[in-house]
Structure 1
Amino acid sequence: MLELKQITKKYGERTILDHVDLTVEDGKILCIVGQSGGGKTTLLRCISGLEKIDSGQILIDGEPFDPYSNQTNDAVIGVVFQEYNLFPHLTVLQNVMLAPTMVLKKDTVQAQAEAKELLQKLALGGKEDLYPWQLSGGQKQRVAIARALAMRPKILCYDEPTSALDPGLRDTVKEIILDLKKEQMTQIIVTHDLAFTEEIADDILKVKPLTD
Structure 2
Amino acid sequence: MTTGDDVPDPLGGPRDAIRWFLRTEHPVVLFVREAASSALAVALVGMLLFSVSGVWPPLVAVESGSMQPNMEKGDLVFVMEEHRFSPEYATGETGVVAAQDAGEHDFRKFGGPGDVVVYKPYGNARQTPVIHRARFWVDAGENWYDRANESYVDAANCDQLRNCPAPHAGFITKGDNELTNDYYDQARGISSPVKPEWIEGTAEYRIPWLGWVRLTVSGTAAGGTVAPPVVV
Which one has a bigger Cα radius of gyration? 2
Structure having the higher helix fraction is 1
Structure having the higher strand fraction is 1
Higher relative contact order (CA 8 A, sep 6+): 1
TM-score scaled by length of structure 1:
0.28
TM-score scaled by length of structure 2:
0.27
